[in-house]
Structure 1
């Protein structure tokens, strides 16, 4: 049943202004609402939660959902390669024990659930063809209205003008098969109705929904939906999301091997400092099968795209194997989002973004994790733990994850924190997601351009000229490309860098030990000025080494725990360059290489490290090697 907590509005939701002049899309909502006798506000609210009213030019979402109403026909658009089974990354990322490369059998496709087959049902109800419902926004909206009206009738409720009486139909529309998920979805829709929204859609026209702050839906209708009840017992989730416990197994197998995570006592030992955002590269049901295989790897939470439902697999106190770097694994919580990196138009639903933001807000508050891009990392921001691991690290969630919108939902929008003109010494990367469309290749065919699409990432060049060479990642060793998985010459929304130079519409930053340029025109900026702390080598040092993990010095390891070594990366921080400080952390190593926890222990040294934004990925530098200063005092 819905709880009162589920009715709380999402952080960052803003009231809409008065309705703008009607666009063709707005008129389509009005026409469909009139034809199927659905309140227009309900239709708009549901569509906003599905797609934020975007059409995506007929391209399917990550779960095969089409158009503003996200009508699903998943047979047309599902990938099969699971996230941790591609590439060379060892998800555990700890050389103290043999790697456990994922060997789990990829599950075969099962019968698609009803939530992934709503478009064929809409075709039956409207008489419109599936092709029309996929490609014509007005037809798609009509299909959504028909589904809502059918849900309302099935509950024995009248088709009426009052939005308060449509709560049960909205819950049914979610496609969820349990009351908690359906209630969480419906409550999000009614949050949108109360706060109102207005935005310019990707179709080029405005759509608006006037706020109804006093709207109180009839939540009692949920009892009539006939949905099953799923227990949230055992989960660590906020009351504002739907969550169930589907445990990853901690089991012994084979030749004294075990999987697929390690038991611990976090945050007491080790601490929890980061949250890592992944995408699954696989469909929900298959992903759940994999995480329940003890020979595979693990993560703490999975999030479903259609309705934002969450499954928790590993307790926060324990260490999941997800990031490819043992230091990050032992100090982080991993979130897998149903989605695909190399499918630019395989978009994420607003329902999943909102559910994820609520979960991250809850976890960050519980464990004292700052809500910034140095602590809320993408898997693509996690450094290789050693030089040998650098080239095999994963690159998800990739350039199409909307970090700007995500942080708005977290209640921490990226904003200028210094005056323009470089006086703050830093920039925060913040392009307009929809308008920012750098060219990527290799999404579908090697060497071929990906579909043009909005992106969170900005391209870097060796000079203030788009014809100049791309920035090279010396640690990777290969020539830079525009490949969707090549991170060498890309910065991401929310990341901060020290300004190295400016030239007209171009800004240079210190990046991977080089001066890297990006276009930053005043009329359409891709970054905003910022201020903060930076590090640079101590006086007398030409450069200092960087590390992919903050491990203790050799003298800190007790008998019985092998010295892990500092293992410098193939990068340095040169004299005269400055990099933004994310955090100061102690050297820490969690020794856990056996199924029995008797030998597990946390080693903490005297050495301190700074986490810095070095390239696209973060890195660590010994505090003893650098000096810290204000970016404003060190502005170029």
Structure 2
């Protein structure tokens, strides 16, 4: 599959160092993946469950055969090489592994992620006893994000500790545990979203009230519009929620979207005002609103019901606000726009279900329970069928 591209000028320096002798990508089997995490833990004294949670939050433990993410990050641990975040180069220096191996070999990539986390822990002054306590690693995890904005760094770390609290059932299993992260200076940073039990905080959007407002860098969008808003474009981030927010704040990115939605719970962050032109759809930018969805085109595990419902609520709201017909002619995938070479949202995006939510009331901005499909304030009974059709049947109230 093709990964989302950013403008060549933004990444020419980063990709120019690709080695022509790169080893073939290694797709680790579950047993091999568990061993890779265990070996990295033994070498660098990073708690295994913490290391897995960082990787799961970044990629769902999917290395994508060594292909880069939207912000030029690689492998299970998302070792990045961009002007703001150079964990790939740091990992190469710390481990002695060639950058090509860190990109394509899963065990090397996990080892590199562990080495970077250990270096951050050493910088934070963690001793041998503290390194055994996952709660003490919070500042190191926040800095691993590479985010320039402390709110985004806290969002990243809170997501990792939320995963530790909930547990992970994937190729490597992490049992749920009670966490009390020692945030240090990040304790004073207002969280963008309630990921570990805190109430929502921070500045809210004036365009869409449920969204947080975290502005993209001014290099990545243009003030105003040269056309009326006629379309809503559905994207997939090819990266994590916090990573995407951080990338749109990076002045070298030259890309952005109006909204970003989290996979796990549908949390929404707005980064460009509706009235301004985000850089997300090339020739269609002037007439389109862009919504990015956390995840990767080739991995359907990111497309949760919470994400579909949150996105449908946002799309319904924006369509009604701007007078956009709620049809597939006006609510489109990035891949459907002329002059674009992207594949998102890809074959795993369920357009029938999504549009039923947009038009059927299940994604309404105001509503009660998540099981209230028609917005009448009462829970409905839902049946999902297996197979190619993936039909959904609803018994109201």
Alignment partners' CA distance in 1, 2:348 and 2:63: 16
Q: Could you tell me how far 1:155 is from its partner in structure 2?
A: 1.5
User: Which residue of 309, 313, 337 corresponds with 2:272?
Assistant: 313
**Counterpart for residue 78 of structure 2:** 70
User: Which residue of 37, 41, 51 corresponds with 2:49?
Assistant: 41
> How has the CA–CA distance of structure 1 residues 365 and 168 changed in structure 2, closer, same or farther, with 3 Å as cutoff?
farther
Q: Could you tell me how far 1:261 is from its partner in structure 2?
A: 5.7
User: Which residue of 91, 94, 112 corresponds with 1:125?
Assistant: 94
Greater fraction helix: 2
Q: How is 1:371-450 mapped onto 2 (pairs within 5 angstroms)?
A: 377-379=331-333, 392=338, 396-398=342-344, 400=346, 402-403=348-349, 417=383
What TM-score results when the alignment is normalised by the length of structure 1?
0.39
**Counterpart for residue 527 of structure 1:** 389
Q: Could you tell me how far 1:224 is from its partner in structure 2?
A: 10
Alignment partners' CA distance in 2, 1:325 and 1:131: 35
Q: Could you tell me how far 1:132 is from its partner in structure 2?
A: 2.2
Q: Are the aligned partners of 1:65 and 1:73 in contact in 2 as well (CA < 8 Å)? A: yes
User: Which residue of 110, 114, 117 corresponds with 1:141?
Assistant: 110
Q: Could you tell me how far 1:149 is from its partner in structure 2?
A: 0.8
User: Which residue of 171, 176, 184 corresponds with 1:220?
Assistant: 184
Q: Are the aligned partners of 1:262 and 1:320 in contact in 2 as well (CA < 8 Å)? A: no
- Segments of structure 2 that go 5 or more residues without pairing to the other structure are 1-28, 190-200, 239-246, 321-325, 355-362, 364-369, 372-380
Alignment partners' CA distance in 1, 2:108 and 2:35: 12
Q: Could you tell me how far 1:239 is from its partner in structure 2?
A: 8.3
Report how many aligned residue pairs link the two structures: 306
Q: Could you tell me how far 1:22 is from its partner in structure 2?
A: 6.8
> How has the CA–CA distance of structure 1 residues 394 and 338 changed in structure 2, closer, same or farther, with 3 Å as cutoff?
farther
Alignment partners' CA distance in 2, 1:399 and 1:358: 12
**Counterpart for residue 160 of structure 2:** 189
Greater fraction strand: 1
User: Does the alignment pair 1:177 with 2:148?
Assistant: yes
Q: Are the aligned partners of 1:155 and 1:224 in contact in 2 as well (CA < 8 Å)? A: no
User: Which residue of 314, 318, 323 corresponds with 1:364?
Assistant: 314
Q: Could you tell me how far 1:377 is from its partner in structure 2?
A: 4.4
Which has the higher Rg, Structure 1 or Structure 2? 1
Kindly report the root-mean-square deviation, in angstroms, between the aligned alpha carbons of the 2 structures. Answer: 5.3
- Segments of structure 1 that go 5 or more residues without pairing to the other structure are 1-20, 75-111, 200-205, 226-230, 252-258, 264-269, 292-298, 383-390, 421-524, 533-636
What TM-score results when the alignment is normalised by the length of structure 2?
0.59
Q: Could you tell me how far 1:38 is from its partner in structure 2?
A: 0.8
Q: Are the aligned partners of 1:190 and 1:217 in contact in 2 as well (CA < 8 Å)? A: yes
> How has the CA–CA distance of structure 1 residues 368 and 335 changed in structure 2, closer, same or farther, with 3 Å as cutoff?
closer
**Counterpart for residue 208 of structure 1:** 173
Q: Are the aligned partners of 1:380 and 1:393 in contact in 2 as well (CA < 8 Å)? A: no
Alignment partners' CA distance in 2, 1:367 and 1:394: 26
